[in-house]
Structure 1
């Protein structure tokens, strides 16, 4: 397995296929309809403009992806980002999430980001365990914040530093 930059044209279909079961069958994401390949390609392109989108490949097949994006639009948040990782159902617990996050955090730090935040719908023990292993600390829970599959769901937020340096006013672009 290896981790590389995502290419919108070549990886959007695989990312959409990985994500679709999470959208349809779980409350892990609050999207209600799986995005099309074209929408996923647009998301990859947008993320790569200012942040990072990576895929993990195993024997030529994309088996997971991770990305960073804007945390909030207010200027004071410009050195923070929100991160997510999704792994193909048949590749859970194989180190894919850890490999993706390890590379993602290095790349985001190199671009000048200081703090990563991640939200997890509760309960989601596998995601909570991964985030804890990756150094995230819980910072709070929004109660009954999302309505999906005919129920209210809580979201626990976590954060992890990406660097300990003083922020630069301009982030390097890749």
Structure 2
């Protein structure tokens, strides 16, 4: 990572980050198949997503911020742990994701965010983390494998975006005492 640890701070996301977080996500909506959302969001539309990730508990939102920069451009990326499925028995599983600002990719920001996220989740009553990775995406596969995720299956041509059908590979990581 090119930034020193003193220049990049990882902290819980807050409402003041909403515009920057929305801008980062909208880049992936507009330019990539990495998310299957097809229409960009306004910050107001993303507010329920933000508030569904409190500062503590199993569903978190962590933000990487360059402390040398003031304003929205200081947000380098974010990582989340979210509900895996809505049914109660899935409560000990989370789906995780990480998104970096286009200018921050390949600089270790995703690694820093995931390290912080999994440390924050250590004391939560969680058993598994899952990540769906649109294929191909070698960088994301490498990131997840570095954190102990293993491939558990692939949904073939499960989503259509930009006129193309895309596969999604699913990865699983053990959490909790046996991890």
The two structures have a TM-score, normalised by structure 2, of 0.87
Contact 1:54 1:65 in 2 (8 A): yes
Cα deviation, residue 52, structure 1 = 0.6
User: What does the per-residue CA deviation read over 1:64-114, in whole Å, with 9 as the maximum and x for residues that have no partner?
Assistant: 001111111222211110011000111111111011111111222322222
Name 2:60's counterpart in structure 1. Answer: 52
Report the counterpart of residue 18 of structure 1 in structure 2. Answer: 24
Aligned residue pairs total 164
Give the C-alpha shift of residue 39 in structure 1: 2.1
Q: Indicate whether 1:6 and 2:13 are aligned.
A: yes
Distance 1:103 1:158 in 2: 19
2:155 maps to 142
Residue in structure 2 matching 1:32, options 28, 38, 52? 38
**What CA deviation, in whole Å up to 9, does each residue of 1:120-166 have, x standing for no partner?**
0001111111111111110000001001100110000001112126x
Q: CA deviation at 1:38?
A: 1.4
Report deviation, 1:118. Answer: 0.3
Distance (Å, rounded) in 1 between the aligned partners of 2:113 and 2:41: 21
TM-fit CA distance, 1:21: 1.2
Q: Distance in 2 between matches of 1:69 and 1:145?
A: 21
Q: Matches of 1:101 and 1:162 in 2, distance apart?
A: 13
Q: Does 1:161 align with 2:174?
A: yes
- Extract unaligned runs of 5+ from structure 2: 1-7
In the other structure, the counterpart of 1:103 is 116
After TM superposition, the runs of 4+ consecutive aligned structure 1 residues lying more than 6 A away are none
State the Cα RMSD in Å: 1.3
User: Hey, what's the Cα distance between the residues in 2 that align with 1:95 and 1:128?
Assistant: 14
Q: TM-score, normalised by structure 1?
A: 0.89
Aligned equivalent of 2:77 = 64
